[in-house]
Structures are given as structure tokens and as C-alpha cells.
Amino acid sequence: MKLATLNNGSRDGRLLLVSRDLTRALDAGHIAATLQLAIENWWSVEPELQALYRELNAGRAEGTFAFDPAAVMAPLPRAYQWCDGSAFLNHGALMQKAFHLDPIDGADTTPLMYQGAGDDFLGGRDDIALPSESQGIDFEGEFVVLVDEVPLGCSAEQAGDHIKLILQINDVSLRALAPREMKTGFGFLQAKPSSSFAAVAVTPDELGDAWRDGRVHLPLRVEWNGKWFGNPNGGAMNFSFPQLIAHAALTRRLGPGTLIGSGTVSNADRRVGSACIAELRAIEMIEHGAPQTGFMRFGDRVRMEVLDSDGQSLFGGIDQRVVAAAG
Amino acid sequence: MKLATLNNGSRDGRLLLVSRDLTRALDAGHIAATLQLAIENWWSVEPELQALYRELNAGRAEGTFAFDPAAVMAPLPRAYQWCDGSAFLNHGALMQKAFHLDPIDGADTTPLMYQGAGDDFLGGRDDIALPSESQGIDFEGEFVVLVDEVPLGCSAEQAGDHIKLILQINDVSLRALAPREMKTGFGFLQAKPSSSFAAVAVTPDELGDAWRDGRVHLPLRVEWNGKWFGNPNGGAMNFSFPQLIAHAALTRRLGPGTLIGSGTVSNADRRVGSACIAELRAIEMIEHGAPQTGFMRFGDRVRMEVLDSDGQSLFGGIDQRVVAAAG
């Protein structure tokens, strides 16, 4: 099942069902007005949504319209919780080596995760408005899961059952601001402006065999200004999504609609490139002694795409520009 | 104006007006069903709420009932954003001295702030259920402001106008988990379980002269198991709330209903005690070479109270126990 959120002028939009091939959409607001309401009542609304989704894909649903990825918001335009892991240890290892950082104690047994801001997500076609190019504007391609209510102390074994939807994001990062925030120990705040989400959230069954071991075993293709930048595979996560959820729920329950992210997708095979500029720069520092690639400039465009087994866009992709914030 | 949220079984409760003396309450859900909806439409709902509040205080409102602080949730039971500062530098200085930490570069000019979890706040009379006493259970008494939408790049001069409500919280902290999370640079996650909120949120005018310079110039009285623990004054903030808001909004707008916290209230005068156990332990380490006070045990109770100029409870206070989480 594929779900999107129509931009109807409200803060939370209105729930849409989108056909598997992303060509047709259908209002689903009579079943649940918003994705947040759907996830809060998933056990009751999911069968009804699935039934309508079958009709939509079979071409039997009434009231469908052409699906426009530019007419939707992030599937969940704002979330009560957004926790982002750093589950690809290859990324951290490269950053450590490039910047001569001390290894983080226990990083291979306890996931790294930061609390992010969920109040103002962008759609995957929205411009990213930022105050200054000097802040080191970077993209980060990631996979994310959306969970229903997760009890305190939920184990990794139980956590998988709470994963209801899978999403694709661009976790925008401001690299010039990150080192100071990391050094304080308080974590990222100014360094992590609003993230952007691909058009549709999908149920795990949409991935078929590519969803296994709590991981998305698909390449994430990243283009920067129309040029290939990388296509690392999500299957290389050192911690699975259920492990990340269990980490977040160790000392508290997670409200329904919590988003848990993988961190930037990163593979040891350097031929597949990277999903963020910082990682390429780290590789350049290791290989050449200094970074050779700059960060994003205003007007730059980033495109991120995940294809399903039929070669079709799975999440509707991300295709957006960075622009100067007004004022 | 004083606002609370009735626990009606829903996740967001129902908006109540509460009389200045906290004796009577009145349903305000016909003006705005929830506090989140009120803050999103503050310019239009505030005059109507204020008019009804005047009737309530004058004893002229119909349909009032006795106010019970145990029957309400946190004023905002869940928030799309919760950012907590550490605006009392005295606290940081004591922690640094006790633990022989390096000073944080620029900590006197740039506020420390972490992104917290807003998905599951507790009411001020709710039990705090936690998995283990060994995690170093601590309370933290703080003041918090609730803002409407704040534009990206908002200056401290402009930020004050976005403060609509002031609240009082217990920012529960797990001290045994914090050092590792700080050391990773990713910040607090497991170390910061759900925070608890005093019964009512109040408009700044309720504080009279005690609200000035963007600070709450009132003592926060903390009792642990019925014994005085401290009464530090909120006026000693080294950064004002408008400065904290501007810090959070440097690289993105803040959604309406964002909460911004002061960090644990802390004064240089040691005779006024502390608002968290970690700070008392730091003082003990400095004075005696080792901490002498343990953290909270299951069954322990913490009480936090702020009195107005008439000696009445301003926010309805916090009075809650720490208990073992089920299972």
C-alpha cells in the first residue's frame, strides 16, 4: 500500500492512497483524515485502506485522479518524534579516519542516534530554504520507518511488528555547524534543519524480498545537479530498524507516528559512491589529504531515487533545490 | 490566563480554562478543542479565551467545576518540538568543575540546547515509570515557554512576541546514561525520558513584574520526599527565553506549539540549593571529593512549586512519584 498527503492548505494535509505505479491517486480522508490519525488507529483503518488500494490498482476505484508528486506534502508533514540513527558504521569509520577522531566506545554494539526536529518537514519537491551557503549545506539520503505506539522496553524481536510504513528522506545537514554542536555533547540542533520526504510512504509488503532482516535491500540512487553521486545499498545497515527502535524505546514508550531513520546510507565498496557530500569529502581527505568537493550552493539540485523490482519509483523520489531563505 | 488540558481519554485531551486561584475550571473546547489548535490560531482564539477567563475569575461563568490537578494531562500532552536549553551557566560550571571537564568553547555566548522528545509528556501528578534505579534517576526543575510559529532567522528582539504561554516542568534525566550519549556527540536520547508538566500553562501577564527581560523572576521550590531541596530563582538565566528561541530558529522556522526550556534552574548562591540531584552531587564532589547523595529510588516523590506574588500556586505545581515500569 502506498500513502501520500495532499497539500490542501492545512498543516497536516489530507490522506491519499496512491496506485503502485504512482500514476493515480484517491482521497482516503474518509477512512482517516491524516496519516497521523491513520497510524494511531492502524489496526482498524489498515484493512479498509488495503481494500481500497486493491480497487485502485485494479482500476476499479471511483474518484481517482492523476497523481502529482509536486502536489503532496511529506507523507507525515509533522511528527511528534523523529529519531535518526547512524546505522551504517562505514560512514562513521570514514568520518573518524578523515578527521582523526577518537573511536566512539561501543559504537558497534550500541547504535548512535540523535533526537531530531519533527515540527516542519518538507515535501520531496519543495525548495530547501537556508540562510547561508557558508554553513556547509549537505544532503543525506536515508531510509526511515514509521511506527505505531511502541511500549517502553520493547525488544528488537518485538519491534519489527511496530513498523507500519517505510519512507525515503533527504536529511539536510549543515556541516559547518555540526562539529561545535557535537563537541558540546548536546547533539545536533542548528546543524539539522527540516528534513524532506519522498512523496509516498509504503507498507513493507510493497518491497517484497527487498524488505528482510529489518532492512531495505535496495540501492538509493543519488544525483547532484544531474550527475551520478552514488547508489549505496540500504541492506548494509549494521543495526536493523527493529534494533534502532528498541534502542529508542529503552527508557520510554514511543508515541504512534514516531519516525526512526537509518542515517546516511553508506557502503564499504567505494565504487557505489556516497549518499552525502561529507562522506565523499572524508574519502578525499583520506586519499588526497584534503577535501576537493565543496558543499551545495544556492540553486543546486539533489535527486534521490529508489527503484522497485520492476524498475519503477518505489517512493516517488526526491528532486529539490537549495535556495536562499527570504529576508 | 491559565489553561489546562482535561484528560478525556484522548491523546490530546480537551482545552480547559482555569481560574487564577486554581479552584474552578471551565471547558474551552468550543473555542479551541486542544491547546495545539489554540496556539495555531492564537491571534483569533486568544481574545475569546481572555473574555471567558475574565468571566470565570469574576464568578460569572456558567458550567464551571472544581479544578482537580490530578484530572489533567500536561497542558500540551504531546508537542511537535521540544528544545531544552541550558541557560543557567552556574549549573554547567559546577558540573565542569566536579567532573574535570574541558570548558565548552563559546558557552557564554552561544546557548547550549538539545532537541528533546515531545511525543509523550506526563502530567504533573502522574507517576514516572522507569525501567531501572541503576540508571541514575534525577529530576530537573525548569521553566518553559510555548511559542506560536517562529520564522527562520527570527532575532532575539523579535522572538519575545512569539512567547504565548509559560509552563513549569520536571525534565526527568537518567544520569548514568548521559555521559556516553554526550561523548558520542549525538546528544541525549535514552538519558531523557518523558518530561512532566505542571497542571496549567499561563500567559506572561499572569506573572506581573516577575516576567521581565524574557525571564521568570521567581523561585522554584523543590522538595524531595517531603524535604526542602532548593529554591533557586529563574531570573538568573544567562540567556533569556527570546535568546533561546532565536538560537533554535537560526536555520529553520519553528512550528507553532514548539516548547523551549530554560534548563535546570541554578543559582550561584549555594544557600538556595539546587533543582536537580546531579548539581548537589557535583557540589559534594567539589567540597568533599565524592558525591554523598544518591539518585532517586522507586517510590521517591518530588514536588516542585512556584508561588505568585499572592503566595498562591502559579502553575499548579508538580507532585509525583518515580515507580518501576511494568514488565
Select the residue of B40, B78, B110 nearest A255 (Cβ to Cβ). Answer: B78
Please tell me if residue A152 touches chain B, with a CB cutoff of 8 Å. yes
Size of chain A, expressed as the number of residues it contains: 327
Please tell me if residue B325 touches chain A, with a CB cutoff of 8 Å. yes
Please tell me if residue B166 touches chain A, with a CB cutoff of 8 Å. no
Please tell me if residue A189 touches chain B, with a CB cutoff of 8 Å. yes
Q: Which of residues 231-260 of A touch B (CB under 8 A)?
A: 247-248, 250-255, 257-258
At A110 the pLDDT is 96
Q: Which three cell numbers stand for residue A312?
A: 519503477
Q: How many CB atoms lie within 10 A of CB B45?
A: 17
At A9 the pLDDT is 96
In our burial notation (b when 16+ CB lie closer than 10 A, e otherwise), range A300-317 reads bebbbbbbbeeeebbbbb
Contacts of B79 in chain A (CB under 8 A): 80
Q: Which three cell numbers stand for residue B67?
A: 479544578
On whether ipTM exceeds 0.90, the answer is yes
Please tell me if residue A109 touches chain B, with a CB cutoff of 8 Å. no
Task: Give the separation between CA B215 and CA B210, rounded to whole angstroms.
Answer: 8
Question: Do B187 and A40 make contact, defined as CB atoms within 8 angstroms?
Answer: no
Task: Give the separation between CA A62 and CA A30, rounded to whole angstroms.
Answer: 14
Select the residue of A119, A130, A187 nearest B188 (Cβ to Cβ). Answer: A187
Contacts of B189 in chain A (CB under 8 A): 83, 113-115, 247-248
| Residue B327 scores a pLDDT above 80 | no
Give the start-to-end residue ranges of the domains of chain B.
Answer: 2-71, 82-324
Contacts of B181 in chain A (CB under 8 A): 185, 187
Task: Give the separation between CA A44 and CA A51, rounded to whole angstroms.
Answer: 12
At A309 the pLDDT is 84
Task: Give the separation between CA A147 and CA A237, rounded to whole angstroms.
Answer: 19
Determine the CATH number of domain B82-324: 3.90.850.10
Question: Do A251 and B190 make contact, defined as CB atoms within 8 angstroms?
Answer: yes
pLDDT tens-digit series, residues B21-76: 999 999 999 999 999 999 999 999 999 999 999 999 999 999 999 999 999 999 99
- Average pLDDT over every residue of B296-314: 96
| pLDDT, chain B, mean | 97
Higher per-residue pLDDT: B326 or A306 = A306
- Average pLDDT over every residue of B142-169: 98
Task: Give the separation between CA B179 and CA B186, rounded to whole angstroms.
Answer: 11
| B326 Cβ neighbours under 8 A, 6+ residues apart | B129
- Average pLDDT over every residue of B213-232: 98
Place of cell 508561588: B307
Residue B288 CB-density burial (10 A; 0-12 exposed, 13-18 middle, 19+ buried): exposed
Q: Which three cell numbers stand for residue A100?
A: 582523526
Task: Give the separation between CA B232 and CA B108, rounded to whole angstroms.
Answer: 20
In 3D space, the residue among A296, A166, A133, A308 whose CA is nearest the CA of residue A223 turns out to be A296
Give the distance from residue A317's alpha carbon to the nearest chain B alpha carbon, in angstroms: 23
Can you spell out the DSSP letters for A47-73?
HHHHHHHHHHHTT--SS-EE--TTSB-
Select the residue of A114, A131, A325 nearest B187 (Cβ to Cβ). Answer: A114
Confidence of residue B225 (pLDDT cuts 50, 70, 90): very high
Place of cell 528482510: A212
Please tell me if residue B182 touches chain A, with a CB cutoff of 8 Å. yes
| Residue B102 scores a pLDDT above 90 | no
Task: Give the separation between CA B231 and CA B275, rounded to whole angstroms.
Answer: 7
Contacts of B259 in chain A (CB under 8 A): none
Q: Which three cell numbers stand for residue A285?
A: 581527505
Please tell me if residue A92 touches chain B, with a CB cutoff of 8 Å. no
Q: Which three cell numbers stand for residue A42?
A: 492502524
Task: Give the separation between CA B299 and CA B228, rounded to whole angstroms.
Answer: 17
- Which residue blocks in chain A are alpha helix, DSSP H? 35-40, 42-57, 89-99, 156-159, 178-184, 241-248, 277-288
Q: Report CA-CA distances (Å) from A188 to A81, A180, A182, A323.
A: 15, 9, 7, 22
Contacts of A258 in chain B (CB under 8 A): 119
Q: Which of residues 259-298 of B touch A (CB under 8 A)?
A: none
At A249 the pLDDT is 98
At B104 the pLDDT is 86
Q: Which three cell numbers stand for residue A98?
A: 578523515
Sheet holding B301-305, edge to edge: B128-130, B318-324, B301-305, B221-224, B227-230
Could you tell me how many CB contacts below 8 A there are between chain A and chain B?
A: 157
Contacts of A162 in chain B (CB under 8 A): none
At B173 the pLDDT is 97
Select the residue of A80, A112, A193 nearest B252 (Cβ to Cβ). Answer: A193
Task: Give the separation between CA A194 and CA A227, rounded to whole angstroms.
Answer: 24
Select the residue of A11, A112, A190 nearest B184 (Cβ to Cβ). Answer: A112
Please tell me if residue B137 touches chain A, with a CB cutoff of 8 Å. no
Say if CB B216 and CB B125 are below 8 A apart. no
Q: Report CA-CA distances (Å) from A247 to A84, A113, A114.
A: 11, 8, 11
Place of cell 496556539: B39
Task: Give the separation between CA B199 and CA B23, rounded to whole angstroms.
Answer: 12
At B18 the pLDDT is 98
Contacts of A129 in chain B (CB under 8 A): 152
Please tell me if residue A86 touches chain B, with a CB cutoff of 8 Å. yes
Say if CB A283 and CB A277 are below 8 A apart. no
Say if CB A257 and CB A146 are below 8 A apart. yes
In our burial notation (b when 16+ CB lie closer than 10 A, e otherwise), range B20-36 reads bebebbbbbbebbebbb
- Average pLDDT over every residue of B185-190: 96
Give the distance from residue A87's alpha carbon to the nearest chain B alpha carbon, in angstroms: 13
Sign of CA dihedral A17, A20, A22, A24: negative
Question: Do B188 and A190 make contact, defined as CB atoms within 8 angstroms?
Answer: no
pLDDT tens, N- to C-terminus, chain A (327 residues): 999 999 999 999 999 999 999 999 999 999 999 999 999 999 999 999 999 999 999 999 999 999 999 999 999 999 999 999 999 999 999 999 999 988 888 889 999 999 999 999 999 999 999 999 999 999 999 999 999 999 999 999 999 999 999 999 999 999 999 999 999 999 999 999 999 999 999 999 999 999 999 999 999 999 999 999 999 999 999 999 999 999 999 999 999 999 999 999 999 999 999 999 999 999 999 999 999 999 999 999 999 999 998 899 999 999 999 999 987
Can you spell out the DSSP letters for A134-188?
GGTEE-BEEEEEEES-B-TT--HHHHGGGEEEEEEEE--EETTTHHHHHHHSS--
Contacts of B80 in chain A (CB under 8 A): 78-80, 118-120
Please tell me if residue A117 touches chain B, with a CB cutoff of 8 Å. yes
- The fraction of chain B above a pLDDT of 90, given in percent, is 96
Contacts of B78 in chain A (CB under 8 A): 80, 255
Say if CB A72 and CB A16 are below 8 A apart. yes
Say if CB B163 and CB B150 are below 8 A apart. no
| Residue B82 scores a pLDDT above 80 | yes
Give the distance from residue A182's alpha carbon to the nearest chain B alpha carbon, in angstroms: 4
Interface mutation target, options B251, B254, B258, B259, chain A, most CBs of A under 10 Å: B251
